[in-house]
Amino acid sequence: MCGPMTARPRFTEYPSLMSKTSLAAAILLLSAAAMPAHAQSSIAGRWVTENNRAVVNIQPCGNAFCGRVERILVDEPGAADARDRRNPDPSLRDRRIVGSRILWGFTRNGNAYSGGRLYDPESGRTVDGRLALNGNRLRVTGCVLGGTICRTQNWTRRR
């Protein structure tokens, strides 16, 4: 042997470093896990339609969810004051699209919402709908003929 052996310090001899590191890691882990669950657990909020034409505000209404057009995003003359000209009910054809209810009656089952109806002011049609939440994306599907013909859009949560 060339000299006296010295023992290497063990990690447990530095309890303040270990506890600070553990505490910081726990805080980061918990905040990262909790934030998305809280922010994305419901369809409530503002959504930009797939074609970036409008912002739809979805909120609870009774035991279900409803959505209204909050804002028209297209930059066309008269778009902000657009009227519901294709509505099958003649008494509603002069109402503004902004503020109009375009989805209603959706109830939650996990990340899916069903049992609701969708109204498309561009065509004037009301169809059966279903919604599926995936993070900051909302898959909006409207169907006719008992679900045999469907059209889907992907909306993005507006921050």
pLDDT confidence tier of residue 100, bands split at 50, 70 and 90: very high
Least confident of 35-39, 66-70, 81-85, 87-91: 35-39
Q: How far apart are CA 158 and CA 80, in angstroms?
A: 19
Is the model's pLDDT at 11 over the cut of 80?
Answer: no
Q: How far apart are CA 131 and CA 111, in angstroms?
A: 8
Residue 29 has pLDDT above 80, yes or no: no
Q: How far is the C-alpha of 133 from the C-alpha of 107, rounded, in Å? A: 13
Lowest mean pLDDT among 15-19, 79-83, 126-130, 132-136: 15-19
Read off the tokens for 48: 């930009």
pLDDT of residue 2: 53
Taking the domains of the chain in order of start, what are their residue ranges? 45-157
Q: What does each C-alpha distance from 122 to 19, 131, 149 come to in angstroms? A: 60, 20, 18
Per-residue pLDDT band for 30 (boundaries 50, 70, 90) equals: very low
**Long-range contacts of 124-131, Cβ-Cβ distance < 8 Å, separation of 24 or more:** 124/84, 124/86, 124/87, 124/88, 129/103, 130/106, 131/43, 131/103, 131/106
pLDDT band at 4 (very low <50, low <70, confident <90, very high): low
Tens-digit pLDDT profile for residues 39-63: 458 999 999 999 899 999 999 999 9
Reported CATH class of domain 45-157: mainly beta
**Model pLDDT, residue 79:** 81
